[in-house]
Structures are given as C-alpha cells and as structure tokens.
C-alpha cells in the first residue's frame, strides 16, 4: 500500500513540475507491478488533465497524461481498467478526452478476447449516449454549397475527427466479422455482431443526420464517413432492406440510446442508399412497393419532425423516393390503415406552411401532391376531409380546393364510376361547403383568407363552365352558395376596400391634431404594422387593394356564369 501511494505521489509531482518526463516513470521496475495491479485508480486522475485548456497551454502535461492512459490500457488488469474507462466515458467529456478514452478502450478490448463479445456493448452504449449529445454549429444547418464553404469550421473539424476515430475504433473488430474468424468465445459471436451492427446503424443519427450529405459534394469528409459506415454495415452480409423490419411503427420519434434501432438513424441510412444511391446496387428489387412505402414513410417522418433543415430535407427526399415507387390511385384506403398517412400528411402540410427554408417548403408541396395522388378516389376524398378539418391555415385549404378541382376534372374525363362517386354528387357538395364559407361573414379578413377564396371561386367557375349537364350535381348547391357565400363575399370586398382606402387617405392627409401626428397604424391580416415608412405602408395597402380587385373580378365573372346558366 505504501509503495502504491509513493508511486501515485511521485507521479503527481512529476506531472506538475516536469510533465514532459512523466512517462519515464514507466521504466522504473518497482512501479510497473503497481501499474499492472492498481493502474485503474490513476484513470480518473489522468483523464482530468486531458482538457482543451491543457492541450493549448500545457501540452507537456496533456501529452504525458494521454501517453500514460494508453500505457495503462496496455498493462493494467484489463477487466478492472475497462470498467474504469467506461465509467469515465459515461461522464461529461470534451471531445479530445472521449477520443483518448475510446482509444484506450479499444486496446483493453483487444486484450480481452473471451469477454469482448459482451464487453464491447458496454462501451457502445456510452458511445451512442455521448454522440447523441454532441452539439452542432450553426454552419451545419446551412445547405449544400453554403455548407461546403464552412468545412474548415473548427467545430466541424472536431466532428469529422470524432467520426474518423470512431471508424478506427471499430476497424479491428470488423476485420473479424469480415473474415468470419473470431478470437472471442463462440457463444458470444451473435451478440458481438449484433451489438456492433446496431451501434453502427445508430451512428447515422445525430449529429450526422443534421449535416448536408448531398451527392454534389462527394469529397465532403462527412459524406465519406457516411459511405464508410454503410461499408461497415455491408460487412455483416445482411440484406440492406431487411432493417426495415425493425422500424418502430408505434412511435415516430423514439430514443436513440435506449432502443435497439431508432427511426431517425435508419431514416438517414436509407436516405443515403435510396436517394443518394450509395451502394444502391446492393438493394434487391423484390420488395412490395406498399410495404416499402409504409416503412419508409415512418422513417421519413422521424426526420421531418427534427427542427433542422438538413435532417428535414433527408426526410422529405426519402418520402419522395418511397412515394415514387407507388402508382397514382394504387393505394386502397383499406390498405392505408397500416400506413401513418394522416400523420405524414399533417407533418408535410406544416412544412409547406410554416418552415422557414424555401427549398424545403417547395419540395414539401410536390411531395404532398404526389402523396394525395397515390390514393384511390375514396382515399383521396377522406384524406381531403381530414386535412380540411385538421389544418386551419386558409392558404393550405385553398391548395386543397385546387387539388379537388383537378380530381373532379379527372373523374369527368375518365367517367370512372369510383371517381364519380367521390368527386361528384353529395361527396363533392360536402367538400364545396367546406371550401366556400366565410367564418367572419362580411367582416372576414380577406387578406388572410385570399388564397382560399380565390381557389374556391376558381373551383366554382370551373364547375359551372365544365359541367353544363350537371353531372356533378353541383348546381343543386348554387342557391345556398349564392346566399351564404357569394353575397357575403361581395359585401366583404366592398367593406375591406373601403377600409384600406381610408387608411391610404390618412397616410396622404394626416390630421393636424397632435394625437394624429404619430404614424398611422396599418393593419393587415389582423396584425398592426406601425413602424413602417409611408412608402412601405403604401406598398402593403396597394397589395391588399390589388387582391380585393382580383377577388372582385373572379366573383363578378362567376356571377355572370351563374346568370348565363340560369
């Protein structure tokens, strides 16, 4: 005991006074036995010196601590020191310290062939827990070319180095898998393979899922890391599509650490293969398109729910790939029950409406359109009803009105009985009633509802012009629409136009009273915009007046068509 304390004391003194000479203590024979038996006790002391500050300002202390830790991994009792290194790995760590611990763990595991099959899982849990908590810099959320310019960002270089070290950590163990020659206990081979495979698949999650991995930048270090990870997965020899069996269908957003497989990581894995076509030749072409749609949409949603444009983009593109495998009208509503269609449609709509990145919004529109079109007529009808009642944004409901017009046109052209059943008659009238309503009557905010109003008027005008023989049964609804929608809308346009004309005059001719010398408040869409220049206010008001003119013009033409019909 005294010899051990003496050794620890001497080592601490050297580290503080002459750290560059600390590794010389390993050459003292009387200390070597202590290091073998009690080296694990030094691990927490030495890891405490592996800091960014020491790396920058006291490199001798930093380097000596790293060398000593790696030497301890080589000579100390492997079972004792493994537990200590893993315990350190599970503590809050800077990246450099974690990488050193990972190197040490690799050394110890190579010394424990009979225990490695199980023991590797202990560190893999710590690895996933650590990497899922790693932060990413703002540069990582930039898109394509913008992000390429920031690959020299310090934090991005740290992430690159971390992934490269992780690849190095698994390399010797995967050699055993590749050659099918194991030095571990035979009874542990299955768990050994399974642990590594599941861990590697989880590495596709955060932070990699939040980084741009597009094919236009194949020289990107992160693209290279992703390709290497897929190579690792291929090493196990499994059908790459087989991992779809492990999709968590009950929970879109699940925990990476605690689950065997997680949806977001699998989503990135399949995005790289199916969209970026990394090792696409390894994918068999025997899987049912509806099965692929069901599983891939769940993975896509897991990524679409992430508040990061790059992760979200991967989800959108994966969804587009899955939808592209299904023909128009192929999906029967009764088969759609096993697919999270409503959840997907709702999330896609939210991206279309609210997400700040234009690229993602525009892609979501195309994907949503394709999504609705894969349903049979019955599915299209009930999905429209669900979305109208679920998404309250008028602009989005206006988009649904436009799609409804397209579906009606298809049914009238095809004369298909199933299409006519759901896009003519009572079903069509039910949809029209939902599109043609003014919640606030004459006081409805026309600017906020302009897209819906314009789309609904176009739908009505199309029906009157196209369906002269009343095949749709729409004309039976005309009297109600005229009273409950068109007439109040006409009044609403007049009231709104008058309101904005008054505001325009107030800006041109402000009152002489002191209270009115403050800037006139312009209200658009229920929002007050007081801190604008007169020119900006004029632009807003003129835009509103132009919108009212457009609505009035469409309304007048529609009324003319109605009079001609009558």
- pLDDT for residue 516: 44
Q: What percent of the chain has pLDDT over 70?
A: 90
What value does the mean pLDDT of the chain take? 88
Dihedral sign, CA of 320, 321, 322, 323?
A: positive
pLDDT per position as a tens digit, 132-172: 998 887 655 555 555 555 566 777 888 999 999 999 999 99
Q: How far is CA 234 from CA 96, 120, 283, in A?
A: 29, 20, 11
pLDDT of residue 525: 56
pLDDT of residue 92: 81
> String of b and e for 194-223 (b: at least 16 CB within 10 Å)?
ebbbbbbbbbbbbbbbbbbbbeebeebbbb
Q: Does the residue 381 lie in any domain?
A: no
What predicted TM-score, i.e. pTM, was given to this entire model?
Answer: 0.89
**Quick one: what percent of the chain has pLDDT higher than 90?**
65
Query: Do strands 527-529 and 522-524 pair parallel, antiparallel, or not at all (unpaired)?
Result: antiparallel
Give tens-digit pLDDT for 47-85: 999 998 989 999 999 999 999 999 999 999 999 999 999
**Does some domain include residue 110?**
no
Locate 57 and state its tokens: 């300002």
Provide the residue count of the chain.
Answer: 566
Mean pLDDT of 342-359: 93
**Whether the Cβ atoms of residue 43 and residue 72 lie closer than 8 Å to each other:** yes
Which two three-digit tokens encode residue 456? 């609904």
> Which pLDDT value is given to residue 515?
45
How many of the other CB atoms lie within 10 Å of CB of 190?
Answer: 10
pLDDT at 367 over 90: yes
Please determine, for residue 235, whether its predicted confidence score (pLDDT) is greater than 90. yes
Higher-pLDDT residue of 462 and 530 is 462
Of 66-80, 133-147, 288-302, 451-465, the one with minimum mean pLDDT is 133-147
Residue 536 falls inside a structural domain: yes
Residue 258 has pLDDT above 60, yes or no: no
pLDDT for the residue numbered 386: 94
Give whole-number Cα distances, 244 to 254, 277, 297, 315, in Å: 15, 17, 11, 15
Contact between residue 116 and residue 78 where contact means Cβ atoms under 8 Å apart: no
Q: Is the pLDDT score of 30 beyond 70?
A: yes
Residue 315 lies in a domain: no
Three-state secondary-structure class, residue 284: coil
In the prediction, which pLDDT does 42 show? 92
Q: Which two tokens stand for residue 22?
A: 């600390």
Encoded tokens for 20 = 């560059």
- The answer to the question of residue 398 being in a domain is no
Find the mean pLDDT for residues 14-38: 84
In a 3-state reduction of DSSP, which class is residue 488? helix
- Among 26-35, 341-350, 493-502, which is the least confidently predicted range? 26-35
In-domain check, residue 435:
no
Q: Evaluate if residue 517 carries a pLDDT over 50.
A: no
The verdict on residue 543 lying in a domain is yes
Count of other CB atoms within 10 angstroms of residue 101: 28
Identify the band that residue 529 occupies on the pLDDT scale cut at 50, 70 and 90: low
pLDDT of residue 521: 58
Give domain status of residue 523, yes or no: yes
Q: Which domain holds residue 533?
A: 494-565
pLDDT bucket at 86, cuts 50 / 70 / 90: very high
DSSP-derived secondary structure for 529-551: E-S--HHHHHHHHHHHHHHHHHH
| pLDDT for residue 528 | 60
pLDDT at 5: 84
Q: Are 315 and 298 in contact (CB under 8 A)?
A: no
Number of domains in the chain: 1
Alpha-helical regions (H) of 263-308: 263-270, 289-304
Q: Is the peptide bond before 207 cis (omega within 30 degrees of 0)?
A: yes
For residues 239 and 336, which has the higher predicted lDDT (pLDDT)?
239
């Amino acid at each position: 005991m005294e010899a051990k304390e003496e050794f620890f004391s001497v080592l601490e003194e050297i580290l503080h006074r002459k750290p560059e000479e600390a590794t010389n203590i390993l050459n003292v024979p009387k200390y070597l036995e202590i290091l073998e038996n009690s080296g694990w006790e030094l691990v927490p002391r030495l890891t405490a010196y592996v800091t960014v500050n020491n790396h920058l300002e006291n490199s001798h202390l930093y380097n000596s601590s790293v060398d000593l830790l790696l030497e301890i991994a080589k000579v100390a009792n492997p079972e004792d020191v493994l537990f200590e290194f893993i315990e350190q790995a599970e503590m809050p760590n800077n990246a450099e310290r974690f990488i050193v611990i990972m190197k040490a763990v690799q050394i110890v595991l190579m010394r424990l062939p009979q225990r490695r099959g199980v023991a590797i899982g202990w560190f893999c849990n710590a690895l996933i827990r650590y990497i899922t908590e790693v932060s990413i810099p703002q540069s990582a959320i930039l898109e394509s070319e913008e992000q390429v310019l920031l690959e020299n960002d310090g934090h991005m270089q740290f992430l690159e180095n971390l992934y490269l070290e992780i690849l190095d950590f698994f390399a010797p163990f995967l050699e055993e898998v590749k050659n099918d020659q194991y030095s571990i206990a035979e009874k542990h081979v299955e768990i050994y393979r399974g642990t590594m495979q599941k861990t590697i698949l989880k590495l596709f999650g955060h932070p990699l899922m939040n980084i741009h991995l597009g094919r236009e930048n194949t020289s990107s270090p992160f693209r290279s890391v992703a390709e290497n990870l897929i190579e690792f997965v291929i090493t196990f020899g499994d059908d790459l599509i087989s991992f779809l069996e492990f999709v968590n269908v009950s929970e879109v957003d699940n925990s990476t650490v605690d689950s065997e497989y997680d949806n977001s990581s699998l989503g990135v894995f399949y995005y790289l293969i199916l969209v970026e076509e990394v090792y696409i030749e390894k994918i068999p072409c025997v899987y049912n398109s509806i099965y692929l749609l069901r599983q891939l949409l769940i993975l896509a949603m897991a990524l679409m729910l992430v508040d990061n444009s790059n992760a979200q983009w991967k989800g959108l593109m994966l969804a587009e790939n899955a939808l592209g495998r299904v023909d128009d009208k192929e999906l029967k509503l009764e088969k759609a029950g096993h697919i999270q269609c409503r959840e997907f449609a709702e999330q896609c709509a939210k991206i279309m409406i609210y997400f700040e990145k234009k690229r993602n919004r525009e892609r979501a529109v195309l994907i949503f359109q394709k999504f609705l079109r894969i349903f049979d007529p019955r599915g299209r009808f009930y999905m429209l009803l669900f979305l109208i009642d679920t998404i309250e944004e008028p602009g989005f409901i206006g988009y649904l009105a436009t799609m409804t017009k397209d579906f009606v046109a298809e049914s009238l052209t095809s004369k298909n009985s199933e299409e006519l059943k759901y896009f003519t008659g009572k079903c069509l009238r039910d949809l029209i009633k939902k599109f043609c309503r003014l919640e606030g009557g004459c006081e409805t905010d026309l600017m906020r509802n302009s897209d819906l109003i314009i789309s609904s008027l176009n739908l009505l005008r199309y029906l009157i012009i196209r369906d002269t023989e009343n095949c749709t049964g729409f004309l039976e609804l005309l009297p109600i629409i005229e009273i409950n929608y068109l007439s109040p809308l006409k009044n609403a346009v007049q009231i709104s136009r008058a309101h904005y004309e008054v505001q325009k005059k107030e800006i041109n001719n402000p009152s002489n009273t002191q209270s009115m010398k403050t800037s006139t408040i312009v209200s658009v869409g229920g929002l007050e915009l007081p801190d604008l220049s007169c020119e900006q206010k004029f632009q807003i008001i003129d835009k509103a007046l132009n919108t009212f003119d457009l609505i009035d013009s469409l309304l007048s033409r529609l009324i003319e068509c109605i009079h001609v019909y009558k």
